[in-house]
Amino acid sequence: MTTLTVHGGQILLGDVILPAANLVLADGRLHAIDPAGRGDIEIDLAGGWLLPGFIDTQVNGGGGVLFNNALTVDGLATIAAAHARFGTTALLPTLISDTHEAIAAALDAVDAAIVAGVPGIIGVHIEGPFISGARKGIHDPSLIRALDRKVIDMLCAPRRGVVMMTLAPEIVTAEDISRLAAAGVILSAGHTDATYEQARVGFAAGITGVTHLYNAMSPLLHRAPGVVGAAFTDDRIWCGLIADGVHVAPAALDVALRIKGADRLMLVTDAMPSVGSSEESFLLNGRRMTVRNGVCEGEDGTLAGAHLDMAQAVRTMRAATGADLRLVSRMASGSPAAFLGLDRERGTLAPGMRADFVVLDADLQPVQTWIGGVKVAGRETSDARVEGELTDR
């Protein structure tokens, strides 16, 4: 067992904020909260926060690596390590529309990474290619196609971690949606031009999420509510949000929070290789993508994912909405855990839960990240006295 004595700031345990606590860690979990005594390691938050680790359901890349271009354990380890620097303790590497062979390789690579114990990798997100050409965004139109039995069988096969898929409900049959959902695939509507009615049919068949709400989907119009309207009027649906100040206007972030609430909103990064890297360009399906002034774009100016980390998303969401940090933390941790069916072990800090947490300073900048009770990224907290040996991995 290891005991952390944490003080000098705010510690979010469940929905309760404590100014100090002794956190007893054992076997990768928060074993107990001991009000007395002195721990093995002391962390002075210096006015900052200790929050549950962030869970990101949409990560295309990081550390100079794009998942599509590095379908390997090493590639996944680089991506996960890059995002750990910003407080992400669990993520779904996301494959942007690609070939059958690439989908198979992505599924196998994530399985292998989980077996190898790569910190932070908990499953895979297949985004496309079974999407609408009218709402393709940066996805290569030559790769967009109909869902077929081969891919369905591939996705329905047993896997080591979570399997999530983004698809357009208007081009996939309700029967295929139901089969995927019955096999445990977590389905999200995205890159879709579905009508309100088509989206509702998809939800009834087994779709439980909406990928990057507002972006690349039919909007809410007063006579045509579209996918956005369908998501807003169905309390069962979780919605991802790219809170980078570019993809979604601050007022629209606020509207989403007022309508859906923190329990059904998930902050996502849609991150590209530039996160955690000095690289400002990369190739996607042979096309050049470039980061300009913090915005990732294709050569024609189309948004190409985001140059965004989860800590920045938390800061942006809080600034846009004025929400209590407990609510914003829920959008970054508890809600994605619930969406993925992992909320019995991740997404909040309480005895028995995984010891996945992030230390932020008073400005909500990341300081340390712990996964499974091990510090995997960060510096020592300011003015902190840290006893014992800690090794970043």
Taking only the tens place, the pLDDT of each residue in 28-70 is: 999 999 877 788 999 999 999 999 999 999 999 999 999 999 9
Main-chain phi, psi angles of 28, to 5 degrees? 80, 10
Average pLDDT over residues 143-172: 97
Residue 31 marked in a binding site = no
Average pLDDT over residues 180-193: 98
Residue 222 marked in a binding site = no
- Catalytic-role residue among 270, 300, 343, 361: 270
- What was the pLDDT predicted at 387? 35
Residue 138 marked in a binding site = yes
pLDDT one-digit tens code per residue, 250-306:
999 999 999 999 999 999 999 999 999 998 899 998 999 999 999 999 999 999 999
> Is 0.85 surpassed by the pTM of this model?
yes
Other beta carbons within 10 Å of 340? 23
Between 23-37, 59-73, 87-101, the lowest mean confidence (pLDDT) is in 23-37
Given the structure tokens 């010891």, which residue do they identify? 355
Residues 154, 95: Cα–Cα separation, whole Å: 15
- What was the pLDDT predicted at 386? 38
- What was the pLDDT predicted at 380? 67
Examine the pLDDT at 117 and tell me if it is beyond 70. yes
- What was the pLDDT predicted at 379? 78
| Residue 389 or 98, more confident | 98
- What was the pLDDT predicted at 242? 98
Residues 261, 264: Cα–Cα separation, whole Å: 6
Between 36-40, 152-156, 311-315, the lowest mean confidence (pLDDT) is in 36-40
Residues 310, 87: Cα–Cα separation, whole Å: 7
Average pLDDT over residues 233-249: 97
Beta-bridge partners for 4? 23, 41
Residues 353, 334: Cα–Cα separation, whole Å: 12
Average pLDDT over residues 174-180: 98
Average pLDDT over residues 358-381: 93
Angle CA(120)–CA(351)–CA(29) in degrees, nearest 5?
35
3-state secondary structure the chain: CEEEEEECCEEEECCEEECCEEEEEECCEEEEEECCCCCCEEEECCCCEEEECEEEEEECEECCEEHHHCCCHHHHHHHHHHHHCCCEEEEEEEEECCCHHHHHHHHHHHHHHHHHCCCCECEEEEECCCCCHHHCCCCCHHHCCCCCHHHHHHHHCCCCCEEEEEECCCCCCHHHHHHHHHCCCEEEECCECCCHHHHHHHHHHCCCEECCCCCCECCCCCCCCHHHHHHHCCCCCEEEEECCCCCCCHHHHHHHHHHHCHHHEEEECCECCCCCCCCCEEEECCEEEEEECCEEEECCCCECCECCCHHHHHHHHHHHHCCCHHHHHHHHCHHHHHHCCCCCCCCCCCCCCECCEEEECCCCCEEEEEECCEEEEECCCCCCCCCCCCCCC
Does the active-site annotation cover 270? yes
Residue 191 marked in a binding site = yes
Domains in the chain (CATH in brackets) are: 2-51+349-378 (2.30.40.10), 54-339 (3.20.20.140)
Residue 216 marked in a binding site = yes
Residue 247 marked in a binding site = yes
Q: Considering the chain, what percentage of its residues have pLDDT values greater than 90?
A: 94
Q: Which band of pLDDT confidence, cut at 50, 70 and 90, is reported for residue 382?
A: very low
Measured CA distances, 84 to 76, 94, 100, 237, 251 (Å)? 12, 16, 30, 28, 29
